């Protein structure tokens, strides 16, 4: 028999529509969301590489020998950045500036923004200053009393101030990124004569290319490198953003795989219903002489044809979804999406196949064994559909799907643990409940008795329904909770008024005037903190240079550390060990240490630390460890002393504050009044970070909408699954004289109970899953969701009751005869 | 055409074994029309199902058109049915998703008959439903549905037709017209007919009557009256 004709006939039965929709949705999610996530991810990574102005950077205090550079693959793009501090001199003024000299190919990623006049309209450019030209921070023009076109002096070199420099992609990455910027051509460095052997200069070699090319660069240069050289990738330059992206990517994959899981459940439900409705058909066909091979071929052919159709439709929709998603966030992403790859489409097709094989085929294949005797005895052959095999195949398929899709066994295990927990719990609970209900039904009267006994009668179908609904709900809860805790964390990281400027080197006598200035300008500073710079030299009497255990963390002690003091524990710090200035008087001065710093160096409460401050020794005892949030952009200190201990050492102060981009011109006034103070501008970095967070959040929102669509589909499939028996039963009840009111109440009560139980189970399952997801996957601390336990059951009861009633409303309004004839 | 020897059927119910058929033997010749009668629960449908190869006997042997059914598996029996057997059921058993025409075409298509549509239309005409070809079963009355079922049963020109209470769900008048149709089609095609019924009138239209009671043949007119 012709398969296509058979499919067309079967299509009219209506059961295949839901199956097709579910399959299409699965393909759409994979090819759409995965494709979108993939493109967004690549886009954002590309965007984030602009923070480096390259894909890979080698940071070194010296120039590399040409011989080493010549060996590099020529396809790799290269640029050189040299940074140092130097005085720049104009006719009537001079200023300590941060000089950045760049080769012509700079920047390899991202672009510069400049303006033709100081503080003027921004325009982007891929050029760099020609030899003999300089681009200056806008502030430098008034500070030096310069106009565009005027001359300024850098060492022996005369430069023409050509343009104002507004932003550089990699501004935040440099240690010397403080003070006003002067951008010149790398060719001019030697001619200025400013850079001598021994001067503090930071060289950065920029590379861009494919991952393999970059790897080749690393391998090729490795023999040249000493301990003072360092590779920088995305992870090093923007740890916060890298982490954000990583989590966002994981979240998208998680949401996507949950979506596929939901679509799989819908496929399973739809296939089950399809098979159920074809028991009689198959029995008749067999009685008429169809062999089981013929039956298998017809039905499997049907499903496979459907899968092909679904794949084609899903591809079209998936591409549509990708583009729609990009269109919706076009303003946010600020880059045109990179071209899509074939991988998501292939993934969609494989998903359809896997869904069909593990969810749709098991119940359909069992049609093969329907006994032909069913034509004489209707009760035969029903049991062939309710079997653990299909559940097993389903879960196995789900496992493979998600594993292949996310590539993270941990993620899949977290989900599966949740799933099997909920399945087990559901099994036990629902069966317990139903046996209890049998008793209640005897005691109850009227409607409740009818509803209860209806539940008991359909307990297998209902248990199945409860479990699949609970699964869909659980997925939804997990996604919503994970999303909101991610967003909350990001928002916490970067509130709108996050301090974006730091002032350091504030002399003690300047603290008052600086505070006055803040007050006059109406700026809230994060508070002025005193600090003394010193070195940590001994830990428990051992010279830090000779402690082998801290070899890897020698960077923490090979430099001057900022030491401060405080009477009270700073607001955003938290004690993790010891006590904050315990009352008992100690023989040594007391110090509190940041806990990660302490861990790196093996410091605990009671450890004695030896410092050298301005040539003088100081011994102190650790009395507490603190954790603190670096993301707050407030001044924070690894080491906080008791007040009074550091009084005799020379100190300066540090503060941070928030300044809107439009108020940046105020900085000129500040720097003119306090020329010795160093200003560190973090606004560009923070702004960029926030944009990324916004982009990613928008993507998450949109994906969430799709997942809700999936959950709804499962709900519909679920209600449809029991529709026939309900319609039949209620039609009979009505012919027996039950009022519409009674049937409506009865239906609502039964559906509400199903929703209630499913919601409760979902709450428990989601809590378990979230615990795993948060602690194992997203590196966040676990949190309870007491609201789940209330909202989920009540919400589910309401939604299921209302939508159940909606789908069954026909039986309430239509004359029972019509319903009976149709069945 | 049909030969059954010492056929019995037992089923496991809870802890006890229920014996539905107790060592039944019978012989039905080509072209014969046989009515199986007896009280409800006596095992009529069970016997019919066994003779048609829809089920396997617990003991005993059955031959259908010379083929030993016991030696065939379910697929083998299906192939045999496809070649030889037609069915009419009490509950019609039309496929709800297919139109009247498609229902009649089904057994022909299963055989790979290229003229399925034409033959089916022809038979629907014979049962007086030429104007209802594209109607679905739910749009037809019970009598009309059973007429479609008759067309479906006769269209492949089976050697044997099994009918289980073909008019059990119909009122007397409609039942009578369906019966007329059944026997006239049967007469035209010379099919062997095995018919289970409660109705004495219907039984009397068959040449031979076998009476079952509690799983045993208590009377067989075919043996009493020499052919
Ligand atoms: N698989 C089975 N399991 C349990 N009992 C069975 C099974 N098959 C048949 N029976 C029982 O065997 C007896 C005979 O069944 P059968 O359907 O053959 O009766 P029948 O003569 O066709 O009755 P009716 O005239 O009511 O259709 C009945 O009591 C029936 O309940
Ligand atoms: Mg019977």
Question: Which residues are A673's β-sheet partners?
Answer: none
Q: For chain A, give the mean pLDDT.
A: 79
What HEC string does A104-164 produce?
A: CCCCCCCCEEEECCCCCCCEEECCCCCCCEEEEECCHHHHHCCCCCCEEEECCEEEEEEEE
Residue burial A758-767, b: 16+ Cβ < 10 Å; e: rest = bbbbbbbbbb
Could you give the CA distance from residue B47 to residue A158 in angstroms, rounded to a whole number? Answer: 114
How far CA A412 is from CA of A29, A252, A360, A401, A418, in Å, comes to 17, 14, 21, 9, 10
Q: How far, in Å, is the centroid of ligand 2 from the Cα of B103?
A: 24
Based on the fold, state whether residues A218 and A295 are members of the same structural domain: no
Q: Would you say the C-alpha torsion A265, A266, A269, A272 has a positive or negative sign?
A: negative
Would residue B152 count as lying in a domain? yes
Measured between CB atoms, does A822 come within 8 Å of chain B? yes
Residues in chain A: 823
Whether residue A288 and residue B106 make contact (CB cut-off 8 A), yes or no, is yes
pLDDT at site A358: 82
Would residue B225 count as lying in a domain? no
CB atoms within 10 A of CB A505: 15
User: Are A210 and A56 within 8 A, CB to CB?
Assistant: no
Q: Which residue has the tokens 């040594």?
A: A588
Which atom in ligand 1 lies closest to the alpha carbon of residue B165? 27
How far CA A373 is from CA of A512, A670, B25, B140, in Å, comes to 99, 95, 21, 25
| 3-state DSSP helix/strand/coil % of chain B, to nearest 5 | 40, 30, 35
Distinct helix (H) and strand (E) counts, chain B: 8, 10
Pocket residues: Cβ below 6 A from ligand 1? B 11, 13, 18, 20, 40-46
Could you give the CA distance from residue A206 to residue A217 in angstroms, rounded to a whole number? Answer: 11
Whether A387 shows a pLDDT value over 60: the answer reads: no
- pLDDT tens digits for A522-574? 888 777 888 888 888 888 888 887 777 766 666 666 667 888 888 888 877 88
Based on the fold, state whether residues A40 and A148 are members of the same structural domain: no
The structural domain count of chain A equals 3
Could you give the CA distance from residue B144 to residue A595 in angstroms, rounded to a whole number? Answer: 87
Domain extent for A222: 56-237
Domain extent for B203: 2-220
Would residue A543 count as lying in a domain? yes
Contacting A with CB below 8 Å, chain B residues are 45, 48-49, 52, 54-55, 74-75, 78-83, 85, 87, 89, 91, 93, 95-98, 102, 106-107, 109-112, 138, 152, 164
Banded model confidence at residue B209, pLDDT cuts 50, 70, 90: very high
In total, the C-beta contacts within 8 angstroms joining chain A to chain B are 79
What pTM does this model have?
A: 0.68
Residue scoring higher pLDDT (B77 or A726): B77
How far CA A755 is from CA of A752, A759, A768, in Å, comes to 5, 6, 20
pLDDT at site B224: 44
Would residue B183 count as lying in a domain? yes
ipTM of the complex: 0.82
How far CA A484 is from CA of A480, A488, A706, in Å, comes to 6, 6, 16
- pLDDT tens digits for B105-162? 888 888 888 898 999 999 999 888 999 999 988 888 888 998 999 999 999 999 999 9
User: Which residue among A10, A290, A378 sits closest to B78, beta carbon to beta carbon?
Assistant: A290
Judged by DSSP in three states, A705 sits in: helix
- Taking the CA of residue A391 and the nearest CA in chain B, the distance in Å comes to 27
pLDDT at site B227: 39
Measured between CB atoms, does A666 come within 8 Å of chain B? no
- Taking the CA of residue A293 and the nearest CA in chain B, the distance in Å comes to 8
Measured between CB atoms, does A320 come within 8 Å of chain B? no
Q: How far, in Å, is the centroid of ligand 1 from the Cα of A384?
A: 21
* CA distance from start to end of chain B: 16
Most confident range (mean pLDDT) of A112-126, A710-724, B27-41 is B27-41
Would residue A719 count as lying in a domain? no
Structural domain ending residue among the three candidates A208, A237, A266: A237
User: Which residue among A280, A292, A293 sits closest to B93, beta carbon to beta carbon?
Assistant: A280
Q: Token pair for residue A509?
A: 């006598």
The CATH number for B8's domain is: 3.40.50.300
Would residue A520 count as lying in a domain? yes
Whether B226 shows a pLDDT value over 50: the answer reads: no
Could you give the CA distance from residue A814 to residue B22 in angstroms, rounded to a whole number? Answer: 49
Could you give the CA distance from residue A302 to residue A448 in angstroms, rounded to a whole number? Answer: 43
Based on the fold, state whether residues A368 and A275 are members of the same structural domain: yes
User: Are A426 and A761 within 8 A, CB to CB?
Assistant: yes
- Taking the CA of residue B111 and the nearest CA in chain A, the distance in Å comes to 8
Based on the fold, state whether residues A663 and A577 are members of the same structural domain: yes
DSSP A66: H
Structural domain ending residue among the three candidates A681, A700, A719: A681
Measured between CB atoms, does A281 come within 8 Å of chain B? yes
Residue ranges with strand state E in A227-278: 230-232
Measured between CB atoms, does A284 come within 8 Å of chain B? yes
Would residue A646 count as lying in a domain? yes
Could you give the CA distance from residue B165 to residue B36 in angstroms, rounded to a whole number? Answer: 10
pLDDT at site B3: 92
Would residue A484 count as lying in a domain? no
User: Are B68 and B76 within 8 A, CB to CB?
Assistant: no
- Taking the CA of residue B180 and the nearest CA in chain A, the distance in Å comes to 23
Of all residues in chain B, the one with the smallest CA distance to A380 is: B55
Contacts of B110 in chain A (CB under 8 A): 1, 285, 288-290, 294
Based on the fold, state whether residues A247 and A190 are members of the same structural domain: no
Would residue B169 count as lying in a domain? yes
User: Are A588 and A621 within 8 A, CB to CB?
Assistant: yes
User: Which residue among A13, A286, A378 sits closest to B97, beta carbon to beta carbon?
Assistant: A13
Would residue B227 count as lying in a domain? no
Would residue B171 count as lying in a domain? yes
Contacts of A376 in chain B (CB under 8 A): 45, 48-49, 54, 89, 164
Q: In the β-sheet with B2-13, what is the strand arrangement from edge to edge?
A: B16-28, B2-13, B59-64, B67-68
Q: Token pair for residue B178?
A: 């369906």
DSSP B151: H
Q: How far, in Å, is the centroid of ligand 2 from the Cα of B205?
A: 19
User: Are A661 and A686 within 8 A, CB to CB?
Assistant: no
Based on the fold, state whether residues A103 and A35 are members of the same structural domain: no
Based on the fold, state whether residues A628 and A656 are members of the same structural domain: yes
User: Which residue among B97, B110, B164 sits closest to A289, beta carbon to beta carbon?
Assistant: B110
Contacts of B55 in chain A (CB under 8 A): 371, 373
Of all residues in chain B, the one with the smallest CA distance to A822 is: B138
Whether B46 shows a pLDDT value over 80: the answer reads: yes
Would residue A746 count as lying in a domain? no
Would residue A572 count as lying in a domain? yes
Banded model confidence at residue A30, pLDDT cuts 50, 70, 90: confident
Q: How many CA atoms lie within 13 A of A417 on its CB side?
A: 14
Could you give the CA distance from residue A319 to residue A39 in angstroms, rounded to a whole number? Answer: 12
Question: Residue A735's Cα: distance from chain center in Å?
Answer: 57
Most confident range (mean pLDDT) of A200-209, A348-357, A454-463, B154-163 is B154-163
CB atoms within 10 A of CB B202: 24
Residue scoring higher pLDDT (A214 or A413): A214
| Angle subtended at Cα A739 by Cα A733 and Cα A741, rounded to the nearest 5 degrees | 115
Based on the fold, state whether residues A652 and A574 are members of the same structural domain: yes
Could you give the CA distance from residue A97 to residue A182 in angstroms, rounded to a whole number? Answer: 7
Whether A475 shows a pLDDT value over 50: the answer reads: yes
pLDDT at site A178: 58
User: Are A88 and A152 within 8 A, CB to CB?
Assistant: yes
Q: Token pair for residue A22?
A: 């579910």
Packing angle, helices A35-49 and A683-721, rounded to 10: 170
Based on the fold, state whether residues A145 and A253 are members of the same structural domain: no
The structural domain count of chain B equals 1
Judged by DSSP in three states, A623 sits in: strand
Would residue B52 count as lying in a domain? yes
Residue scoring higher pLDDT (A65 or A489): A65
Measured between CB atoms, does A576 come within 8 Å of chain B? no
Would residue B226 count as lying in a domain? no
Would residue A763 count as lying in a domain? no
pLDDT at site B151: 92
- Taking the CA of residue A287 and the nearest CA in chain B, the distance in Å comes to 7
CA dihedral of residues B171, B172, B176, B178 (deg, nearest 10): 10
Judged by DSSP in three states, B191 sits in: coil
pLDDT at site A494: 60
- pLDDT tens digits for A699-719? 667 677 777 777 777 777 777
Contacts of A299 in chain B (CB under 8 A): none
Residue scoring higher pLDDT (A558 or A744): A744
Ligand nearest the Cα of residue B37 is: 1
User: Are B191 and B160 within 8 A, CB to CB?
Assistant: yes
Nearest CA to ligand 1 atom 16: B43
Whether B60 shows a pLDDT value over 80: the answer reads: yes
Could you give the CA distance from residue A646 to residue A589 in angstroms, rounded to a whole number? Answer: 10
Whether A36 shows a pLDDT value over 90: the answer reads: no
Q: Would you say the C-alpha torsion B111, B117, B122, B127 has a positive or negative sign?
A: positive
Could you give the CA distance from residue A758 to residue A681 in angstroms, rounded to a whole number? Answer: 53
Based on the fold, state whether residues A74 and A197 are members of the same structural domain: yes
> In the predicted model, what is the mean pLDDT of residues B96-109?
86
Based on the fold, state whether residues A569 and A530 are members of the same structural domain: yes
Q: How far, in Å, is the centroid of ligand 1 from the Cα of B81?
A: 23
Q: How far, in Å, is the centroid of ligand 2 from the Cα of A454?
A: 29
pLDDT at site A142: 81
Based on the fold, state whether residues A258 and A200 are members of the same structural domain: no
């Amino acid at each position: 028999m012709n398969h296509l004709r058979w499919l067309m006939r079967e299509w009219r039965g209506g059961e295949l529509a839901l199956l097709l929709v579910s399959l299409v949705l699965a393909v759409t999610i994979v090819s759409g969301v995965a494709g979108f996530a993939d493109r967004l991810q690549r886009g954002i990574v590309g965007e984030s590489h602009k923070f480096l102005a390259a894909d890979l950077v080698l940071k070194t205090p010296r120039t590399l020998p040409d011989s080493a550079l010549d060996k590099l693959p020529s396809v790799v793009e290269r640029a050189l950045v040299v940074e140092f501090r130097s005085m720049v001199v104009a006719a009537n003024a001079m200023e300590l500036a941060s000089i950045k000299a760049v080769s012509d190919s700079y920047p390899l990623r991202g672009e510069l923004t400049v303006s033709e006049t100081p503080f003027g309209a921004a325009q982007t450019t891929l050029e760099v200053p020609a030899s003999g030209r300089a681009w200056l921070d806008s502030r430098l023009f008034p500070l030096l009393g310069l106009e565009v076109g005027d001359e300024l002096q850098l060492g022996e070199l005369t430069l023409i101030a050509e343009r104002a420099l507004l932003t550089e992609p990699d501004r935040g990455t440099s240690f010397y990124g403080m003070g006003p910027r002067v951008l010149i051509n790398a060719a001019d460095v030697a001619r200025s004569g400013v850079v001598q052997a021994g001067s503090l200069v930071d060289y950065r070699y920029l590379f861009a290319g494919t991952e393999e090319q970059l790897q080749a660069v690393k391998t090729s240069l490795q023999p040249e490198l000493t301990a003072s050289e360092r590779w920088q990738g995305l992870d090093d330059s923007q740890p916060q953003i890298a982490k954000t992206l990583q989590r966002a990517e994981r979240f998208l994959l998680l949401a996507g795989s949950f979506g596929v899981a939901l679509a799989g459940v819908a496929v399973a439900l739809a296939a089950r219903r399809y098979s159920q409705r074809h028991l009689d058909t198959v029995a008749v066909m067999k009685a008429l002489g169809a062999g089981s091979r013929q039956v298998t071929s017809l039905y499997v052919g049907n499903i496979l044809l459907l899968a092909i159709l679904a794949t084609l439709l899903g591809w079209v929709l998936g591409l549509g979804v990708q583009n729609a998603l990009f269109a919706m966030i076009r303003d946010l992403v600020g880059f045109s999406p990179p071209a899509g790859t074939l991988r998501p489409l292939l993934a969609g097709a494989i998903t359809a196949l896997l869904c069909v094989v593990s969810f749709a085929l098991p119940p359909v294949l069992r049609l093969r064994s329907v006994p032909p005797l069913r034509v004489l005895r209707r009760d035969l052959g029903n049991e062939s559909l309710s079997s653990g095999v299909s559940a097993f195949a389903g879960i196995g398929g789900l496992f493979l799907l998600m594993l292949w899709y996310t590539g993270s066994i941990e993620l899949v295990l977290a989900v599966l643990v949740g799933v099997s927990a909920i399945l087990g719990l559901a099994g036990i609970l629902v069966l317990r409940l139903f046996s209890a209900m049998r008793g209640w039904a005897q005691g109850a009267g009227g409607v409740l008795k009818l509803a209860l006994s209806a539940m008991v009668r359909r307990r297998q179908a209902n248990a199945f329904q409860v479990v699949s609904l609970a699964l869909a709900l659980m997925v939804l809860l997990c996604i919503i909770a994970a999303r909101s805790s991610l967003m909350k964390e990001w928002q916490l990281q970067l509130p709108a008024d996050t301090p974006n400027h730091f002032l350091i080197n504030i002399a003690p006598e300047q603290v008052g005037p600086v505070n006055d200035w803040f007050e006059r300008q109406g700026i809230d500073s994060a508070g002025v903190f005193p600090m003394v710079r010193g070195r940590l030299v001994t830990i428990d009497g051992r010279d830090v240079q000779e402690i082998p255990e801290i070899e890897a963390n020698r960077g923490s002690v090979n430099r001057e550390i900022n030491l401060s003091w405080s009477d009270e524990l700073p607001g955003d710090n938290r004690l993790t060990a010891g006590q904050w200035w315990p009352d008992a008087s100690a023989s040594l001065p007391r110090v509190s240490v940041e806990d990660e710093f302490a861990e790196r160096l093996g410091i605990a409460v009671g450890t004695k630390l030896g410092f050298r401050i301005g040539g003088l020794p100081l011994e102190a005892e650790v009395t507490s460890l603190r954790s603190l949030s670096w993301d707050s952009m407030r001044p924070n200190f690894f080491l906080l002393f008791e007040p009074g201990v550091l009084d005799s050492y020379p100190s300066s102060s540090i503060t941070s504050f928030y300044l809107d981009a439009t108020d940046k011109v105020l900085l000129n006034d500040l720097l003119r009044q306090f020329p010795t103070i160093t200003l560190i501008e973090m606004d560009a970095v923070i702004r960029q970070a926030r944009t990324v967070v916004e982009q990613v959040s928008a993507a998450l929102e949109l994906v969430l909408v799709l997942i809700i669509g999936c959950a709804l589909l499962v709900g519909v499939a679920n209600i449809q699954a029991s529709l026939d028996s309900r319609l039949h039963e209620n039609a009979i009840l009505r012919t027996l004289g039950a009022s519409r009111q009674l049937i409506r109440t009865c239906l609502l009560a039964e559906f509400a109970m199903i929703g209630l139980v499913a919601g409760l189970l979902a709450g428990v399952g989601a809590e378990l899953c979230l615990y795993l997801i948060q602690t194992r996957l997203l590196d966040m601390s676990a949190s309870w969701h007491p609201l789940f336990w209330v909202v989920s059951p009540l919400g589910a009861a309401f939604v299921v009751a209302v939508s159940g009633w909606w789908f069954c409303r026909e039986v309430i309004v239509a004359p029972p005869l019509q319903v009976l004839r149709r069945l | 055409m049909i030969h059954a020897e010492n056929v019995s059927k037992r089923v496991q119910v809870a802890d006890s074994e229920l014996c539905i058929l107790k060592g039944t033997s019978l012989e039905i010749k080509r072209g014969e029309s046989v009515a199986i009668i007896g009280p409800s629960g006596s095992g009529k449908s069970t016997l019919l199902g066994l003779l048609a190869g829809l089920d396997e006997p617990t003991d005993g042997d059955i031959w259908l058109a010379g083929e030993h059914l016991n030696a065939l598996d379910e697929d083998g029996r299906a192939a045999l049915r496809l070649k030889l057997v037609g069915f009419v059921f009490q509950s019609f058993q039309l496929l709800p998703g297919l139109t009247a025409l498609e229902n009649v075409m089904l057994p022909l298509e299963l055989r790979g008959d290229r003229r399925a549509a034409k033959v089916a239309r022809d038979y629907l005409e014979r049962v007086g439903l030429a104007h209802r070809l594209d109607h679905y079963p739910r749009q037809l009355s019970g009598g009309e549905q059973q007429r479609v079922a008759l067309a479906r049963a006769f269209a492949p020109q089976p050697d044997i037709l099994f009918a289980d209470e073909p008019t059990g769900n119909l009122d007397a008048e409609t039942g009578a017209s369906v019966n007329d149709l059944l026997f006239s089609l049967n007469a035209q095609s010379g099919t062997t007919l095995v018919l289970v019924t409660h109705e004495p009138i219907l039984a009397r239209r068959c040449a031979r009557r076998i009476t079952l009671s509690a799983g045993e043949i208590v009377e067989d007119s075919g043996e009493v009256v020499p052919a």
